[in-house]
């Protein structure tokens, strides 16, 4: 049965076709004969509690010369859609949170929203991993600069990062005694006039196995894709993120990878997190990506997979 599918995403005209997971989903939906509609953040509205969006009919093709065509945008009741795919990139700021409330109104009206909007609000991609202490490296989340300095001194080397970033932005690698540590903490904590921190910051013990890659493991309804994309730092860069210049290399899942996925999967299912990306360095889970996980196109190309097809198989089995 053909479904009406609306996707909330960043501007489609600016995507990179070879790397864009949202585009892979759109191509698969088109292949299956579903009707596609497009919206951006500014197209959402609530009218007397009813969720509306300014939707544009969308056609897509895998052609760098012209990969999409939009029809006339019209305001429509979102409850007319069968499926809403929430693929807006972070930051998960106030406006993102408000968007989830509009999508939740559509969900109450019977629309299948992927991922569940309540879970998007509740599951910060950095903090959610801490619900699985058996899987993570030593970690501290604090606004207190002194505690963060003590954490770095205790472990000798650590990674500091904000709670709302993506693509490797705002991440620092620091060693005990580094003369730049105070400056890093001032930046991350956004310190107030009396030295107090205004923003929670996360510190994780540095994991040397980052040299072999920061693995992205994709899960669909809690089931892991059998290959991960190891994002390997290049040159003097310690970050493996593709957006920070990392090289992507597909690798089979290890036994430890599968164990981590099994630890996390029941909670993902419980929360309605149907498409999720785990970040694993060495033996440790570092993040759980729930907003707009990527790496589908790279894994499909390297291993002849159709990961978006697996997602739509799941969606079509449970369309509401």
Gap between the Cα atoms of 176 and 171, Å rounded: 16
Gap between the Cα atoms of 203 and 248, Å rounded: 25
Six-digit token pair at 26? 């759109």
Residue 127 CB partners (closer than 8 Å, separation 6+)? 141, 163, 202
Instruction: Write down the catalytic residue from 28, 116, 287, 298.
Output: 287
For residue 75, count CB atoms less than 10 angstroms from its CB and return exposed for 0-12, middle for 13-18, buried for 19 or more: exposed
Tell me whether residue 161 is one of the annotated catalytic residues: yes
Tell me whether residue 231 is one of the annotated catalytic residues: yes
Instruction: Write down the catalytic residue from 104, 279, 298, 300.
Output: 279
Q: Name the DSSP class of 254.
A: P
Instruction: Write down the catalytic residue from 161, 215, 271, 274.
Output: 161
Tell me whether residue 126 is one of the annotated catalytic residues: yes
Instruction: Write down the catalytic residue from 88, 205, 231, 274.
Output: 231
Instruction: Write down the catalytic residue from 20, 88, 115, 126.
Output: 126
Instruction: Write down the catalytic residue from 88, 205, 215, 216.
Output: 216
Query: Is residue 206 a contact partner of residue 158, using CB atoms and an 8 Å limit?
Result: yes
Six-digit token pair at 173? 């690698």
Alpha helices in 166-306 (DSSP H): 181-189, 255-271, 296-303
Instruction: Return phi, psi of residue 240, to 5°.
Output: -95, -10
Tell me whether residue 289 is one of the annotated catalytic residues: yes
Instruction: Write down the catalytic residue from 257, 289, 297, 300.
Output: 289
For the chain, the helix, strand and coil percentages under 3-state DSSP, each to the nearest 5: 35, 30, 35
Instruction: Write down the catalytic residue from 88, 215, 239, 274.
Output: 239
Is the link from the previous residue into 91 a cis peptide, with omega within 30 of 0?
yes
Gap between the Cα atoms of 249 and 302, Å rounded: 8
Catalytic residues: 126, 161, 216, 231, 239, 279, 287, 289
């Amino acid at each position: 049965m053909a479904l009406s599918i609306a996707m909330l995403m960043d501007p489609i005209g600016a995507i990179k076709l070879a790397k864009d997971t949202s585009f892979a989903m759109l191509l698969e939906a088109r292949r299956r004969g579903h009707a596609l509609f497009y919206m951006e953040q500014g197209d959402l509205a609530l009218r007397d509690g009813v969720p509306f969006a300014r939707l544009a009919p969308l056609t897509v093709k895998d052609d760098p010369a012209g990969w999409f065509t939009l029809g006339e945008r019209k305001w429509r009741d979102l409850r007319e859609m069968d499926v809403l795919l929430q693929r807006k990139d972070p930051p998960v700021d106030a406006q993102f949170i408000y968007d989830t409330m509009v999508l939740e109104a559509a969900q109450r009206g019977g629309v299948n929203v992927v991922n569940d909007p309540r879970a998007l609000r509740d599951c910060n991609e950095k903090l959610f991993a801490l619900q699985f202490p058996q899987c993570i490296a030593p970690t501290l989340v604090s606004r207190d600069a002194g505690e963060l300095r003590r954490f770095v001194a205790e472990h000798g080397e650590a990674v500091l990062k904000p709670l709302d970033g993506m693509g490797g932005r705002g991440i620092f690698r620091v060693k005990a005694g580094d003369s730049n540590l105070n400056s890093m903490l001032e930046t991350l904590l956004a310190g107030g006039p009396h030295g107090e921190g205004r923003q929670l910051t996360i510190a994780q013990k540095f994991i040397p196995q980052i040299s072999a890659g920061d693995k992205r493991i994709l899960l669909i309804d809690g089931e892991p894709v059998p290959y991960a994309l190891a994002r390997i730092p290049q040159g003097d860069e310690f970050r493996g993120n593709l957006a920070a210049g990392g090289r992507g290399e597909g690798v089979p899942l290890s036994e430890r990878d599968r164990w981590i996925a099994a630890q996390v999967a029941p909670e993902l299912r419980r929360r309605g997190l149907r498409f999720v990306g785990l970040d694993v360095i060495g033996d440790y889970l570092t993040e759980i990506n729930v907003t707009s996980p990527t790496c589908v196109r790279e894994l499909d190309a390297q291993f002849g997979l159709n990961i978006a097809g697996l997602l739509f198989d799941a969606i079509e089995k449970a369309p509401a």
